[in-house]
């Protein structure tokens, strides 16, 4: 029981998004517990299965700084039926990543977000057609307006994919808005990689945009292409899985402040 319990996510890479990209999935294990609960311990809240604490892939205790977030994690475990399917547990996967990969080493995560800021999705506009240009402006201009008004960060736009250097002051102002708290940082990083935009992620983290609005803004080009070339069902399934990851990250941002 203990080996099974501690190795539940042992075959899962620390970066769940990397696993998703490679199509990797750990073998599904049968549910072996009756109850998933939350146990308060010192300044954290642990997820316990029949009284035993859950372990991350690095064998750390699955615990959060927020009671509400812990309850949501426990609900995710409780929703598993005959088998435990990590693909249906985006919040647990994100929590594992933060516990094992962000809490002790936040600097590389923060630097990765800064790299996205330097070449953010919303800076690069299509030269045409006019309909796509209009849609990009409608979705992305509010993000830039928020950055300018709330952060004092004025960015430069480019056309096509040629790199456009951004003002150092704007980058510094946006960088200062990256959260320090490891849970919020991990959630922000997840949203950044899912959307391709650190500015969209920051706007969501600062309650300037809803999850749906942020997700829609990140998929302007993809939605435009689908209108012309048709829907790809497999791509839509992958997109739904990514949106579940986005919702999990938004849950962390909401619960940990």
Report d(CA 72, CA 247) in Å as an integer. 12
Report field, pTM of the whole predicted structure over 0.75: yes
Calculate mean pLDDT across residues 85-114: 97
pLDDT tens readout for residues 156-204? 999 998 999 999 999 999 999 999 999 999 999 999 999 999 999 999 9
How far does CA 7 lie from the centroid of its chain? 24
The Cβ of residue 222 has, within 10 Å, a number of other Cβ atoms equal to 12
pLDDT above 50 for 13: no
**Residue 9: its pLDDT value, please?**
53
Calculate mean pLDDT across residues 56-82: 96
Q: List beta partners, residue 52.
A: 49
**Per-chain mean pLDDT for the chain:** 91
Q: Where are the domains of the chain?
A: 2-89, 106-255
pLDDT above 60 for 11: no
Classify domain 2-89 by CATH number. 3.30.2180.10
- Beta-carbon-side half-sphere exposure of residue 142 (alpha carbons within 13 Å): 15
pLDDT-wise least confident of 52-56, 75-79, 159-163:
159-163
**Residue 6: its pLDDT value, please?**
44
**Residue 235: its pLDDT value, please?**
87
Calculate mean pLDDT across residues 28-45: 93
- Beta-carbon-side half-sphere exposure of residue 108 (alpha carbons within 13 Å): 6
Report d(CA 172, CA 152) in Å as an integer. 10
Q: Do domains 2-89 and 106-255 have the same CATH topology?
A: no
**Residue 26: its pLDDT value, please?**
61
pLDDT tens readout for residues 195-239? 999 999 999 999 999 999 999 999 999 999 988 888 888 888 999
Pick 8 or 225 by higher pLDDT.
Answer: 225
Is CATH 1.10.3580.10 the classification given to domain 106-255? yes
């Amino acid at each position: 029981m203990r080996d099974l319990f501690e190795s539940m996510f042992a075959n899962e890479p620390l970066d769940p998004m990397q696993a998703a990209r490679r199509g990797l999935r750990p073998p599904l294990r049968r549910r072996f517990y009756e109850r998933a609960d939350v146990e308060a311990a010192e300044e954290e809240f642990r997820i316990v299965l029949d009284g035993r604490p859950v372990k991350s892939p690095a064998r750390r205790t699955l615990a959060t700084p927020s009671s509400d977030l812990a309850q949501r994690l426990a609900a995710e475990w409780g929703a598993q039926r005959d088998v435990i399917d990590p693909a249906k547990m985006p919040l647990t996967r994100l929590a594992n990543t933060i516990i094992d990969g962000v809490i002790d080493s936040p600097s590389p995560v923060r630097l990765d977000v800064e790299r996205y800021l330097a070449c953010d999705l919303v800076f690069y506009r299509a030269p045409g057609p006019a309909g796509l240009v209009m849609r990009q402006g409608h979705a992305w201009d509010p993000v830039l307006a928020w950055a300018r008004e709330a952060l004092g960060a004025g960015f430069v736009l480019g056309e096509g994919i040629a790199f456009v250097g951004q003002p150092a002051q704007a980058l510094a102002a946006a960088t200062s808005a990256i959260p320090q708290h490891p849970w919020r940082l991990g959630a922000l990083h997840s949203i950044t990689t899912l959307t391709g935009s650190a500015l969209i992620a920051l706007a969501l983290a600062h309650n300037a945009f809803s999850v749906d609005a942020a997700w829609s803004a990140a998929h302007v080009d993809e939605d435009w292409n689908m209108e012309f070339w048709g829907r790809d069902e497999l791509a839509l399934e992958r997109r739904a899985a990514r949106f579940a990851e986005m919702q999990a990250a938004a849950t962390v941002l909401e619960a940990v402040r």
